[in-house]
Amino acid sequence: MAQTSLLKGKRFYCREWVFHKIQHCLQEKTNNLSGVISTPSKQPPLAPGGSTSNPGTLTAGSAKSGSSWGVLLVGGPGSGKTALCTELLWPTSAQGTHRGLHQQSLAFHFCRADDSDTLCVGGFIRGLVAQICRSGLLPGYEEKVRDPAVQNTLQPGECERNPTEAFKRCVLLPLLSVKPPQQALFLLVDSIDEGSQLGEGEQRSSPGSPRTIAELLASHHEFLPPWLLLICSARRQNKAITKLFTASGFPVPAGANPEC
Ligand SMILES: Nc1ncnc2c1ncn2[C@@H]1O[C@H](COP(=O)(O)OP(=O)(O)O)[C@@H](O)[C@H]1O
Ligand SMILES: [Mg+2]
């Protein structure tokens, strides 16, 4: 898992409109935090919308007003999704550093077609738990997942057999029961569509059990705490992913910004 910028010293250009959009969604969530009780941010499904952008452009869709809980970045191969996610986490520009969005990162995951470990649902969950513990952003979280019964669901094998249980017990429930942070945080998953073909051919370990990270998040993102923004990226060619998230209420691409 990358711990530093994947741009490897290259300069990052433009995309200011995407950072503004993410900043806006985070700010809305932060504003809604006052007086919030830590219950899942379940929202009614959003009306579907379509992207009319040209190939090569990147689009970012989110729910409107205070209800936004997810951002889906959509763009073809090479349109700059991974670069953008990288810049969000490890800003290289003075503007990015100044904006400080990276300080609101709770955890991230980069899916890569050439590395099957990054597509593994169990590894994804274990990575999230480790990062949330390390982040120090949520006092009390580590203690909750230290419980041996909770730890057991994370064990290799067990976690792969029942990823839903592991995700609930090690991520959703502890996040919902800790004191909400002062500022909204985000969880970033780049290239969430990688591995979706794998999932189609694979047997489920039990009925309804998610075979991919996308399936896991699509069936649970409505139960994430209201202070957590889910940011995902995917290629527009992958209709299945858009459908998966749209069907369960995830915002769809909401028009391109051709500026940059
Ligand atoms: N905004 C940007 N500034 C500088 N380089 C970029 C930018 N967006 C993309 N690139 C470069 O273009 C190439 C493809 O981008 P990448 O993020 O891997 O695309 P995608 O993830 O959408 O397939 C990479 O070499 C990346 O470093
Ligand atoms: Mg990429």
- What residues flank ligand 1, with Cβ below 6 Å? 7, 10, 12-15, 75, 77-83
Question: For residues 18 and 258, is the Cβ–Cβ distance under 8 A?
Answer: no
Q: How far is the centre of ligand 2, averaged over its atoms, from the C-alpha of 77 (Å)? A: 7
Give the list of residues 6+ apart from residue 77 with CB closer than 8 angstroms, or none: 235
CB of 227 closer than 8 Å to CB of 34:
no
Complete domains list, the chain, with CATH: 18-28+63-247 (3.40.50)
Q: What is the pLDDT of residues 101-146, one digit of tens each?
A: 999 999 999 999 999 999 999 999 999 999 999 999 999 999 999 9
Q: Which ligand is nearest to the CA of 55?
A: 1
Sheet holding 105-110: strands in order across? 58-62, 70-75, 228-234, 185-190, 105-110
pLDDT in tens, 13-42: 778 899 999 999 999 999 988 755 445 554
Nearest CA to ligand 1 atom 8: 80
Q: State whether residue 236 is helix, strand or coil.
A: coil
In sequence order, the β-bridge partners of residue 74 are 59, 234
Ligand nearest to the CA of 84: 1
**CA atoms of 184 and 32, how far apart (whole Å):** 9
Give, for ligand 1, the residue of 6, 81, 82 to mutate: max count of ligand atoms closer than 8 Å to Cβ.
82
pLDDT per position as a tens digit, 50-89: 332 343 576 766 544 344 568 888 888 998 999 999 999 9
List alpha helices for 62-212, DSSP H: 81-89, 94-99, 121-135, 141-146, 148-154, 158-161, 163-167, 173-177, 196-201
